[in-house]
Structure 1
Amino acid sequence: MSQSTSFSSDHIPDISDFSPERWTIKFVNEGAANLVFEVRLPPSPPSTTGSRSNGSNDIFQGNLLRVPKAGAKTFPYPELQQYWESTITPLFPPENLAQHQLVKLGHSPSKVVALLNDILIREESGRRKDFRGTRVLPDAQYGMLIEDMRSQNPSDLFVEFKPKWLSPSPSQHTRCRNCAREAYRDHLDPSHHKAHRLGILCPLDFIACRDSLESLDNVLKHILPASSSPSQRTRLIHWLKTNTLLPALQKVQSEHDPSLGVNLELAMTLRDCSLFLRISSPEEGPGKVRVDAKLADLDKKNAAKKKHHWEWLERNLVEGGFYGGKETPREKTYCLLERSKRN
């Protein structure tokens, strides 16, 4: 999808002003629609006073560069940024959102695109098999600077997960939507369940773990990195039991439940976001722990394109009895609703 748009670009920074041929670029990650890179600028020359000013005008400092993939058929970046500013940011405090800023790729964006594609070619063998061969959208005019939530030092604990559906819809009594969908996938392909060694985490456990040891153990089993230290585990447990972000997301999701039939694209966007969690313990002492927990991947969903699939899947879940655990044969899930009924 072309990125041509009537969006006014007068106030948008142009990253080509920072001499792309001098950049140090590292491929970071990718999804079906976007590619993410780390960009570092060369040190600034000493000023007339002998000091260096590097960093004061470094647009990449603390940010990653995200660009669109060729063939992804997503909304143009200016439209995504406008949606984020007008629809997403009013729902959450600024500190709960990974900030992003629209940038221009230059008057000749092909130079930036070519540099990024060169990095992809060099990194090809390390990319996910189904993503290999994909490149940056050739006529991309815009990118985004995304707040870099990765670890800043070895003592940091970084966790990334998708909270998904934190509340069951009113009609969901035995399984939540996420676990009903997983049961449906297992029903279609038994190897799907075997591929998940730990089973599927029920997202309702994210809220229940404040009071339930079983839910807390389930969450830790799925999101705590294996390399974590005991002190990092303790810090994560404290955040899971005391945070206000997940309850806030649950509240917003409930207010925009798909069953209410209003603003379906927003409802599905809120259920497909990611949460970046960085917990650091500076040298000042254990009482100086800093927690940065922010939501990301809140791009506008293409409801016109996906509405038919969403409705088709929902119909299969209902008619197949997957919400009520009445499918034949019955699939095993770890849904909190199902566990509660057994107890």
Structure 2
Amino acid sequence: MPSPPLSSTSPRDWRYTAEGGANLVLSFVGPLSSPFTSHILRLRKRKIGAAPRGVDEVVPSEVEVDFGERVVAPLLGRNSVVDMHKVELERPWLEGLVRELREEGSRPAGREAEDEVDLDAPVGVLAEDLIAGEGVASVEIKPKWGFLPSRRWLSPETADVKSTHCRTCMHRYYKLCKSGEETKGHDGFCPLELYSGDEERTRSALEELYCAWEESDDTLNNLRLFHEGKRLLPADSSGPKPEHPLVSAMLRLSPLCVADSHCSPLCTSLARALVASPLLRTLARLQASLDALDIEGLATLLLEHPSTQADLFAPADRAAAEVAKLGPQPSLAEWEALLARLGPALSRGPEATAQALREGSPRDAVLAYLLSATLKDCSLIVRFPPAAEGGQGSVSVKAIDLDPKPIARMAKYARMDREIVECWKQRLEQLGEGEAVRRCRE
């Protein structure tokens, strides 16, 4: 792992790759002799003009950097997460990097206007680069929620809706309604198909993702395509199909595919890789177990428990005070202690975990929910190596974006859940004669 300081590199040695809501990612493109070769640098972001975060909203730096290695990796398996190490940041070097990014105009305009690199962050994260390399084709997928909640902990008003329609499908419709866009004919990608373990269902889900990627011109974050470290856009795939570099890579791995579209070989290869990997199955099981009570059951537990009596559904003007009853942002030691206590129940699945959470500390139930939120928001990188490195058997599937979630968001999670379900119920109530809404199936 690189030992020299980042300031030993030039800001021009780092190329913008991607970014999400919390982090910006850069790939090293400097001299091949550098110890930073084949690594990416992940930097924290902050909202432009936002007020300073309160102490309880800030994830401690040692948790932010080591959470994936010491908390998530033991759950998902060491081979299922990227190797990551923290690196100290120097403000003058960061400022030079930000100037370089601005001059290049490499960040999307919308992101530039919304947030910026946090120049006060003491550390960044170095990780193995899964997208760079000659002949390497990589796909990033955000699989989202992989389960339907148990009716046992749901209210009579929401049980029928939540147990038959997945959160991702309902959330997509909610966002369309909020934006004022057309809502008919937008069932689209269902993550339960992706998580199904069935190759045909998985391929069908990937085709939905690919179509959304094309139609949105890569503005959605559920699917991203890379070839030799360069992010591909839908316009890049408009050339002769067999000659397109990503299609060529997929055809090499799936030679029996008929290349009647870019989507066919890509989705077939991806489906085979995902079904062969245990990662999606593990994610779905852990998401469901850690969120075994659902936010509704958790809210009831917190309100009724004498040690908390916190109301997650309190009005906005009281929300912060109610969340404060849950305690401060957990330390790394507390996360590790939680896993030690919950480990036996997690291995037995959602029902056993729900029982353990109800019998244990309410704070354990809150932390379990936050950990589930991390796993619901992660991304997967499927890396197809060049021909020299082997065939389909050497394809790797690893999880990234495994950041801890702030405990201060608990009221926001509860409020959002209620709004999403209410919006979906209105959709069902407004169906005309002969109309139907697709049900999700595990």
TM over 0.5: yes
The Cα of 1:329 is off from its aligned counterpart by 4.8
Name the residue aligned to 1:326.
Answer: 428
Q: Is the 8 A contact 2:39 2:128 kept in 1?
A: yes
Counterpart of 1:300 (choices 380, 404, 407) is: 404
Q: Which residue of 1 aligns with 2:112?
A: 132
Post-superposition Cα deviations, 1:213-255, rounded to whole Å, max 9, x if no partner, equal 3552232342486552434434323213322111111111121
Is the Cα–Cα contact under 8 Å of residues 68 and 403 in structure 2 kept in the other structure?
yes
Residues 210 and 242 of structure 1 are in contact (CA less than 8 Å); yes or no, is this contact kept in structure 2?
no
Residue number in structure 2 paired with 1:237? 271
Q: Percent identity?
A: 25
Alignment of 1:151-162 (within 5 A): 151-154=132-135, 156-162=136-142
Question: 8 Å contact 1:28–1:38 — kept in the other structure?
Answer: yes
Match of 1:104 among 63, 73, 88: 88
Match of 2:19 among 25, 30, 48: 30
User: One-letter code of the match for 1:185?
Assistant: K
Cα displacement (A) at 1:206: 1.0
Aligned partner of 1:313 among 393, 416, 426: 416
Alpha carbons of structure 1 residues 26 and 185: separation in structure 2 relative to 1, 3 Å: closer
Closer, same or farther: CA 251–117 of 1 in aligned 2, 3 Å = same
Provide, for residues 116-144 of structure 1, a one-character-per-residue CA deviation record: whole Å limited to 9, x for no partner: 112221122x4222212543222232111
Mean Cα deviation higher: 325-334 or 112-121: 325-334
Q: What is the aligned counterpart of 2:280 among 239, 246, 261? A: 246
For 2:399 and 2:412, the matched residues in 1 are separated by: 25
Residue pairs, 1:248-267, within 5 angstroms: 248-257=282-291, 259=294, 261=298, 262=365, 263=367, 264-267=369-372
Residue pair 1:174, 1:325 contacting (<8 A) in 2 also: no
2:145: which partner in 1?
165
Match status 1:218 vs 2:205? yes
Query: What does the per-residue CA deviation read over 1:286-326, in whole Å, with 9 as the maximum and x for residues that have no partner?
Result: 4x74111110111010121x21121112223444554x963
Residues 64 and 151 (structure 1 numbering): CA distance in 2 closer, same or farther, change over 3 Å?
closer
Q: Which amino acid aligns with 1:309?
A: K
Cα distance change on mapping 1:201 and 1:19 into 2, 3 Å: same
One-letter amino acid of the structure 2 residue matched with residue 313 of structure 1? M
The CA deviation string for residues 27-47 of structure 1, in whole angstroms up to 9 with x for no partner, is 22222322222234546xxxx
1:9 aligned residue: none
The equivalent position to 1:61 in structure 2, one of 37, 48, 55, is 37
Q: 1:235 to 1:86 in 2, by over 3 A?
A: same
The offset of 1:22, in angstroms, is 8.2
Corresponding residue of 1:49: none
Match of 1:27, SS?
strand
Return the alpha-carbon distance in structure 1 between the equivalents of residues 283 and 197 of structure 2.
15
- Corresponding position of 1:4: none
AA in 2 matched with 1:34: N
Report if the CA contact (8 A) 1:277-1:293 is conserved: yes
Amino acid at match of 1:243: S
**1:191 match:** 181
Aligned to 2:383: 278
Q: Is the 8 A contact 2:12 2:97 kept in 1?
A: no
Once the two structures are TM-superposed, the CA of residue 182 in structure 1 deviates from its matched residue by 2.0
C-alpha distance in structure 2 between counterparts of 1:191 and 1:332, whole Å: 20
* Contact 1:30–1:36 (CA under 8 A) maintained in structure 2: yes
Deviations 1:45-84 (A, max 9, x none): xxxxxxxxx35xx1x1221111222448553543212332
Does the 8 A contact of 1:35 with 1:136 survive in 2?
A: yes
Match of 1:113 among 94, 105, 110: 94
What amino acid maps onto 2:71 in structure 1?
A: T
Query: In 1, distance between residues paired with 2:131 and 2:12?
Result: 20
Runs of 4+ deviating beyond 6 Å: none
CA 1:132–1:119: 2 relative to 1, 3 Å: same
Q: Structure 1: how far apart are the matches of 2:270 and 2:397?
A: 11
Distance 1:335 1:148 in 2: 38
Matched to 1:220, the amino acid is E
Helix, strand or coil for the counterpart of 1:228? helix
> Per-residue deviation at 1:93?
1.3
In structure 2, C-alpha distance between the alignment counterparts of 1:285 and 1:20, rounded to whole Å: 33
More helix by share: 2
Compared with structure 1, are the counterparts of its residues 87 and 209 closer, same or farther at alpha carbon in structure 2 (3 Å cutoff)?
closer
The one of 72, 92, 99 aligned to 1:88 = 72
**Are 1:122 and 2:103 an aligned pair?**
yes
1:139-150 equivalences under 5 Å are 139-150=120-131
Q: In structure 2, the residue corresponding to 1:208 is in which secondary structure? A: coil
Segments of 5+ residues of structure 1 without an aligned counterpart are 1-11, 44-53
Task: Select 2:5's aligned residue among 12, 15, 18.
Answer: 15
Distance 1:237 1:115 in 2: 42
Structure 2 distance, partners of 1:70, 1:177, is 27
Instruction: State the match for 1:75 in structure 2.
Output: 59
Q: Is the 8 A contact 2:273 2:397 kept in 1?
A: no
CA–CA separation in structure 2 for the residues paired with 1:129 and 1:332: 39
CA distance in 2, matches of 1:34, 1:266: 18
Structure 1 residue identity aligned to 2:419 = N
